[in-house]
């Protein structure tokens, strides 16, 4: 009997997990902005492109459009399986489709990949003016910049007013900017596990994660995109993901799932779980985008230049639902309570009960689906 062959070693991670020209398009569409995009803290951004996906059909009067805004490591692929061009299945797949809370027989859904992201929209992995990847020369962004790019997308699609703008975590920051800066274009609002301004603790977690990436020798000053497999900052990005994932979940859930269990080859199971998520992210995300987007989240302060949080939120006079996760230690309920207190159209804080921490807004699809139905039934 021939001895069985040893399993092949896993392939080296790419220098970047970004979608790049020549990769399968998947179900994305693209908008190239016709004019340079003004930015808050840098010269206008030339040649910006937004990748986006849609579901359903836009009504003749464009009154049935709903904007879905993803979190830090999400993208435009809110629904559908993983496959060529899409490294992960849809992040809200269970909520989208005929008869589901985001009913594609009724609503026209639009999910853009955020500006600065890495799955088709312009970001650090994209070609800059020189033809080479932007890398560390990519300008700093704020949620206001990102919302302005999404407004250009709405214009191009012929959508003057969204029936609803929905976002969680980082997506909630951009949704809030829509409501405050474009209240006439925001028919209703759903904010999930987000805040009016990044807190000191949130800033601290972000700083640690960026430091992990930049201390990786594979970072190469941010010019690693064409370095080849195994030569990018995947170790630093993986460490950043491990840190982040601990803030996304709750201590009781980790204890219940793993406790002090030891894996067969040695080491604790909980460490293996974090290793798994680190490897996954390194293969589907870009380290430069991770830094750009986390810094944009740090810049989030809806009251900046608007007379403070209360004065800014008073502008958002549309119907609004604000929900937080009871076990969220990264975006605690007090932050959503502040939003619910100051938003004129909110009727108090809704609480998602979940052991899953911050990720509850992605995991608890029945509870989130009920909130979506409530919002859209009133739209």
Active-site residues, by number, are: 169, 328, 358
Residue ranges in 63-192 assigned as alpha helix (H): 143-157, 170-181
How does DSSP classify residue 101? Answer: S
Give the strand pairing for 65-69 and 108-112. Answer: parallel
Three-state secondary structure of 167-197: EECHHHHHHHHHHHHCHHHECCEEEECCCCE
- 10 Å Cβ neighbour count for 374? 14
Tell which phi-psi region holds residue 99, choosing left (phi > 0), alpha (psi between -120 and 50) or beta: left
Q: Taking the CA atoms of 322, 324, 329 and 333 in sequence, report the sign of the dihedral they define.
A: positive
Q: Which residues pair with 164 in a beta bridge?
A: 66
Give buried/exposed letters for 12-49 (b at 16+ CB in 10 A, else e). ebbbbbbbbeeeeebebbebebeeebebeeeeebeebb
312: nearest Cα among 199, 208, 196: 196
d(CA 343, CA 320): 7
């Amino acid at each position: 009997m021939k001895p069985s062959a040893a399993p092949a070693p896993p392939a080296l991670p790419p220098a970047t997990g970004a979608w790049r020209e020549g990769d399968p398009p998947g179900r994305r569409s693209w908008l190239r902005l016709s004019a340079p995009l003004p930015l808050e803290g840098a010269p206008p951004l030339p040649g910006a492109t937004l990748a986006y996906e849609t579901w359903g059909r836009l009504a003749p009067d464009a009154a049935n459009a709903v904007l879905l805004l993803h979190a830090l490591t999400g993208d435009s692929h809110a629904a559908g399986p993983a496959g060529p061009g899409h490294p992960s299945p849809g992040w809200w797949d269970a909520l989208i489709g005929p008869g589901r809370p985001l009913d594609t027989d009724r609503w026209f859904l639009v999910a853009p990949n955020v500006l600065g992201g890495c799955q088709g929209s312009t970001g650090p992995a994209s070609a800059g003016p020189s033809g080479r990847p932007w890398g560390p020369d990519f300008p700093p962004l704020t949620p206001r910049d990102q919302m302005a790019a999404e407004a250009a997308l709405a214009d191009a699609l012929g959508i003057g007013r969204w029936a609803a703008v929905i976002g969680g975590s980082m997506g909630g920051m951009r949704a809030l900017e829509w409501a405050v800066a474009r209240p006439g274009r925001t028919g209703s609002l759903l904010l999930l596990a987000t805040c009016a301004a990044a807190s000191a603790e949130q800033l601290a977690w972000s700083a640690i994660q960026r430091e992990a990436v930049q201390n990786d020798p594979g970072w190469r000053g941010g010019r690693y995109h064409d370095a080849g497999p195994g030569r990018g900052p995947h170790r630093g990005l993986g460490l950043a993901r491990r840190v982040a994932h601990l803030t996304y979940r709750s201590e009781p859930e980790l204890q219940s799932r793993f406790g002090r269990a030891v894996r067969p080859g040695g080491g604790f199971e909980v460490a293996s779980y974090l290793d798994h998520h680190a490897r996954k992210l390194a293969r589907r995300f870009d380290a430069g985008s991770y830094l750009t987007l986390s810094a944009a989240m740090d810049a989030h302060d809806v009251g900046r230049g608007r007379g403070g949080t209360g004065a800014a939120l008073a502008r958002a006079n549309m119907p609004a639902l604000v929900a937080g996760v009871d076990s969220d230690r990264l975006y605690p309920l007090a932050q959503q309570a502040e939003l619910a207190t100051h938003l004129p159209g909110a009727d108090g804080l809704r609480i998602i009960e979940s052991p899953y921490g911050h990720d509850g807004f992605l995991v608890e699809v029945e509870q989130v689906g009920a909130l979506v139905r409530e919002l859209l039934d009133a739209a």
